Structure 1
């Protein structure tokens, strides 16, 4: 989420977001004139032909297809969230049922005698109410009008206004529309669009609108949107400051003060408000387990197969262990959708639900929505797309099929499938609770420990359910009693819940909590199982925090993984075909094995130039960035080139090719792409910036050695080795740039393209690395020319081609 938070930890600031509404919209206090009154119908007369839908937050009335809200003046200036969720639709495209397409909008109301205004709160800047700078801030903090409604009637003492919300809730309004600017189903047809129903509760109002669209393809589209108006509490939860050493989603705002130079950015984590009831506080302090005042309830969709329900409930309630560790029992519970409650609406913003989406998409996610003033999680969802189970089956097959016969089945048994469902639900509930991925967790475990039945049965594959450490690809055929899945709840997860949720009664403000929270982290700093590593996108910078990786040594782990992939490939036909099978399933699993193998290669590619990152605070004698050792980088290169040269021996299985054709071209492309990474500007940039022990010159020399070892020793090359040498020269030429003063700008897949963005950065690498590249070209050219007289016709042609590639240098 990116909604902005309020500084309620600073008591004077706490009132900032509850000030009088924007200048120019305080008309509720103005006296009525005869002209004003004449434009507003009398209360009794106006309601005479209206049907009361319900009384609660607003009184809601209807006449035919028109809906009206009666908003009391006591709600003017109060904070609301306006949310829009997809309930139903005619066809899943880029919009799917259950999704809250956009973040809830923070709104307030004001009025004069003729109009009621809905304001959108957009400011993310705060100041102490008693600080002179607040006057300057007020001048840039007017709340713009999001929508204007003509008042249809006022109640007898003019303390409530009735407005017609029909047009607002049936039009395409930015922020509550089902579509964004990049995708739209067609033209909204107003005559076929209407409000279907409304539900009224003490703190919220829910309205469902059916919206019909036409388009030029002749395929009409209909969608039902649920809009929620939720009143936020007057007293907010105390926020808790973010800390980069533990993974929580957070939102931020800027705080101005004349007491300090500059502007301070405050970040508060997303978390539910878990606290003991007033009458239980003393028992809680005495160490007794108590039920929190606000219990977290997750409802699971009855569209899930009923045999899955126990596993879904278990995945939700696995988090009870973490809350019990800080004194709360039954803090989070799972329940099926109520079938005998007519008021239950899964789209109701108050209800947190696990939703089944009938779509071919293979994913799940756990979004949450928050009180923008404090970071309090008001609720969240787990979205489960249908093909998640296929994804889980595929991962289990390619990661564990060699060691676990149960993982080889096309349709896993319920026990195995349920175990995987439980894992995914627990992971997504963690996101709903505010936790981010912890990609460093699995690095805490030694690789060979994951082959131990005793260790894995106790700890699983990782110290955190929030890691991307799926299934145990380390275990080898013959290893017995192994647990193949992550833990139900890891020690990092339990600690993270303590850090984010445990009440700190001795602190009066969020600022007062900081020292205590810091001490909790420092107490765990020497244990790797409590380390946090943020998710890295693209090429990994820190090899200890990688997606889909297991263990503390990616080389050893990937070697085990590669052996398992080779074992599976030998048995692929046996495990994936049946009589009269058309090989679709076998083709799919062949491709999945290759994807998994590529992950193993990618994990090891993070070592060259890699840097381990450690988040620290002042007072610790650590380094933020610690280079991977020279020995480990050289070991990684040796393993990578061994794999790249030997792919054909097990990937190009003749019996598999007879059935589904050859994937040789894909392997050639992948081989070149790995070399692009190893010779990329990112690697050289890291080597030059962080590595004193291993220089760019030594690294290039080691690349040369692995590429040309067989050539130097006069040995024959297979076609993959020849392709590797040609790709190496292509990269050298691109890294060097245009030759002989040519003005032609050559595209680069390595140095230039990966370091583009600023001329200073390119110049930095040019000055330091390009001289090495030209030296390597000269060295390579001499070697190639020496082999132009090879007696092997294929090799002679190969070296002639390489010589031509280098002719301009």
Structure 2
């Protein structure tokens, strides 16, 4: 018995030593024998391998023999994360824009089940008004988080507080939502194939609440534009950064949106626990601003925020750009100071000696330099999908933005500002204009959408007043596309030509977005308080919000690139200025031996002229839109007045009869061989004028005193055939318009004649979309291309979509009647036509008879 007790004690004493030997993997000698001890699973992953380790307060990440292992703490299982990707460097920045996240960050969480880590997509759309076990079960059973991927647990950490799993694939482009290469947009489609053998993991980093992995990805890519292959199997190498950010457990209280305030939104669907219908809500996207001293803030003292909004400025910018970029960012501090915060917006350069800094990491908001020929800038942001809290924003400034500013300033203000009458803008004007562009984009980063109705609040003639423009600029909102003061005439001295630094609308939105509402106990109580703020401003047009119109364009007071409350009057002033500038172009633009600069400005002037006319065309069949509440005496929609629509048709026709001044021989002979501008202008405008018919059908159906379809077609007829009706000589514009109408008649008459004439019918839905959506020329002239090619930009309120007016659109009938009128008119006048004009009219008459068929030919 004693013998067995001694043996047991001996074994107990020896056991810890044996376990220690196994864990360490060392070799022990027992006599002359050598005993090999097994490594733990954790040690096997790393021992004897080429490895790189990054360990932070959140996770540890390992790069081992070309693979990425994540050591993920068990305490963070179930916590919400954002996983994002950006291009850090590439061999072709026309495909990949460095610093831009091509896809919305993935909202995920990890869960552990048996020996598997599951990556789940967080279902952040569903929310509940009330809390409790029953509501938790309802959401869990019906709106759970779906599994996106799973990873085998390879080992536990030595202290068993974390699991290790292989995530290499997701960093080598196995997840489409994390690809740094865009799929394309609009008419452009990009396809790519990854060469895994040439791709590799380059670097891993870990910090307090995030980690990042850099991968070198090698592709072959092709580009198709409008179904035509334009690039085929070209090589592309991208250095991509993927960052994983741990979202805080303490969430920002969301703020319910108001349709009368133009902010970016996060959509929600509230589920009731009382059997009521589900409700859809949206949260306003905003940064989380809290005063560092609540009591001081409530006493009315300027208080710094707990967490300021910091933008880091790219060191790659030209040195001269950095100061105006800084000024553009800091302009917004004025609006924050009016609601009690100071030093909210802060600017820093990319730090040189901070190993934690990475501009492509989700932790840092940056202003990035993009050295491409694009003449633009943009300001996207990314949010916590559960609350709408903005966590990251980025302003991308493309190299040719200065060219865009030069064009704007010259075309819109050269009539009154001698300083812009050069090939290059003076430095002071570059700085002033660039600061404006940056301030506009920072507005987006703060949550503000475009407000395209803002400039319509100002009477046109007020834009010629020094006192008015000095106080208000050209628009109540910097988020408008109002640009520079093209209304100002050469004799107007002291008139301000710039948009405002910030308008009264911008300051109000900052107040609405960021002011704490301490008297509200819940977000629903808060929404009632904020609603009263908006109610108080609704009758003042300077606070009106007008959604940008992309798919369906109905409201002529919510347009890009316009000024004032009367498009015809503003257009008259603008055209008068263009007529003043054009003859001076050769004189003002010197040192231009190839006329390159002059030709570029000439093209911009023609585009500007088109904008003036197009703005008036939107009156025709227009409908004023408003998101006013029912208890406010503002109509949700109201057709444009009959007299304004009729006058707009006459105004446009007058412009088309008087645009040959663009064919300036002293200027055009300096340019390369090309077509005269006047027929090109007439064709572009004529198409838009004729495409207004469905809008007129809609507008007239809503009005008590309509501008009817019959009246519209009569005005169209009299305007296009005025050369015959007035017995005057044909102009080039007349011929272009009449040929355009002929083509339109040929298309529309099919609706009456059907396929009996051998003409196939089309898809009316597609036709309507074409009529209501902006044309390719519109996209170029109005700067819409960036938004047409960006999916879901500003989603939340929803754009005004094209309405199917086929049931009330009698265009085909009126076009048929117009064919009869034109036939009768030409037949009655044929003997009186000038010999030079006669062939044109004979061709027109023959075409009309062909459309009408054999009966018309026999007459």
Q: When the two structures are superposed, what TM-score results if normalisation uses the length of structure 1? A: 0.89
Q: Which residue of 2 aligns with 1:194?
A: 200
Q: Which residue of 1 aligns with 2:822?
A: 780
Q: Report if aligned partners of 2:243, 2:362 keep a CA contact under 8 Å in 1.
A: yes
Segment of structure 1 superposing worse, 198-207 or 291-300? 198-207
Is 1:213 matched with 2:215? no
Is 1:640 matched with 2:663? no
Is 1:591 matched with 2:592? no
**CA shift at 1:156, angstroms?**
3.5
Alpha-carbon deviations, 1:735-777, whole Å to 9, x = none? 33266662533678999933799999565235x4444443333
Is 1:162 matched with 2:164? yes
In structure 2, distance between residues paired with 1:135 and 1:39: 46
In structure 1, distance between residues paired with 2:751 and 2:649: 28
Q: Report if aligned partners of 1:731, 1:748 keep a CA contact under 8 Å in 2.
A: no
Is 1:525 matched with 2:538? yes
Q: Which residue of 1 aligns with 2:127?
A: 126
Q: Which residue of 1 aligns with 2:28?
A: none
Bigger radius of gyration among the two: 2
In structure 2, distance between residues paired with 1:756 and 1:68: 51
Is 1:100 matched with 2:114? no
Equivalent residue in structure 2 for 1:672, among 676, 679, 683: 683
Equivalent residue in structure 2 for 1:744, among 750, 758, 763: 758
Q: Report if aligned partners of 1:62, 1:68 keep a CA contact under 8 Å in 2.
A: yes
**CA shift at 1:438, angstroms?**
0.3
Q: Which residue of 2 aligns with 1:11?
A: none
In structure 2, distance between residues paired with 1:287 and 1:298: 27
Q: 1:234 to 1:658 in 2, by over 3 A?
A: same
Equivalent position SS for 2:252: coil
Is 1:178 matched with 2:180? yes
Equivalent position SS for 1:69: strand
Equivalent residue in structure 2 for 1:765, among 792, 796, 808: 808
Segment of structure 1 superposing worse, 593-602 or 149-158? 149-158
Is 1:686 matched with 2:698? yes
Alpha-carbon deviations, 1:645-702, whole Å to 9, x = none? 1111x11111223222565465434423323322324323323322332222222222
Q: 1:560 to 1:747 in 2, by over 3 A?
A: farther
Q: Which residue of 2 aligns with 1:456?
A: 469
Q: 1:375 to 1:538 in 2, by over 3 A?
A: closer
Q: Which residue of 1 aligns with 2:835?
A: 793
Alpha-carbon deviations, 1:200-240, whole Å to 9, x = none? 21111122112223579785432111111101111211111
Equivalent residue in structure 2 for 1:656, among 663, 667, 670: 667
Q: Report if aligned partners of 1:471, 1:485 keep a CA contact under 8 Å in 2.
A: yes
**CA shift at 1:498, angstroms?**
0.6
In structure 1, distance between residues paired with 2:415 and 2:306: 49
In structure 1, distance between residues paired with 2:562 and 2:154: 62
**CA shift at 1:260, angstroms?**
5.6
**CA shift at 1:66, angstroms?**
3.7
Q: 1:65 to 1:488 in 2, by over 3 A?
A: same
Q: Which residue of 2 aligns with 1:116?
A: 117
Equivalent position SS for 1:399: helix
In structure 2, distance between residues paired with 1:186 and 1:704: 52
**CA shift at 1:263, angstroms?**
2.2
In the alignment, structure 1 segments of 5+ residues that lack a partner are 1-37
Alpha-carbon deviations, 1:403-458, whole Å to 9, x = none? 21222222211110011110111000000111100001111111112122222222
In structure 1, distance between residues paired with 2:758 and 2:731: 34
In structure 1, distance between residues paired with 2:44 and 2:683: 79
Q: 1:685 to 1:665 in 2, by over 3 A?
A: farther
Segment of structure 1 superposing worse, 456-465 or 420-429? 456-465
**CA shift at 1:179, angstroms?**
2.4
In structure 2, distance between residues paired with 1:284 and 1:561: 48
In structure 1, distance between residues paired with 2:562 and 2:405: 16
In structure 1, distance between residues paired with 2:154 and 2:606: 66
Q: 1:102 to 1:39 in 2, by over 3 A?
A: farther
Q: Report if aligned partners of 2:464, 2:492 keep a CA contact under 8 Å in 1.
A: yes
Q: Report if aligned partners of 2:325, 2:438 keep a CA contact under 8 Å in 1.
A: yes
Q: 1:786 to 1:350 in 2, by over 3 A?
A: same
Q: Report if aligned partners of 2:474, 2:484 keep a CA contact under 8 Å in 1.
A: yes
In structure 2, distance between residues paired with 1:434 and 1:664: 45
Q: Report if aligned partners of 1:577, 1:583 keep a CA contact under 8 Å in 2.
A: no
Q: Report if aligned partners of 1:323, 1:329 keep a CA contact under 8 Å in 2.
A: yes
In structure 2, distance between residues paired with 1:274 and 1:401: 43
In structure 2, distance between residues paired with 1:486 and 1:350: 32
In structure 2, distance between residues paired with 1:618 and 1:255: 23
**CA shift at 1:42, angstroms?**
4.5
The RMSD of aligned alpha carbons is 2.8
Q: Report if aligned partners of 1:735, 1:752 keep a CA contact under 8 Å in 2.
A: no
**CA shift at 1:93, angstroms?**
2.7
Counterpart mapping for 1:182-261 below 5 A: 186-213=192-219, 220-259=235-274, 261=276
Alpha-carbon deviations, 1:551-571, whole Å to 9, x = none? 111111111111122222212
Segment of structure 1 superposing worse, 155-164 or 375-384? 155-164
**CA shift at 1:312, angstroms?**
0.8
In structure 2, distance between residues paired with 1:437 and 1:133: 38
Segment of structure 1 superposing worse, 611-620 or 213-222? 213-222
Q: Which residue of 2 aligns with 1:19?
A: none
Alpha-carbon deviations, 1:66-98, whole Å to 9, x = none? 443211111000000001011111222321211
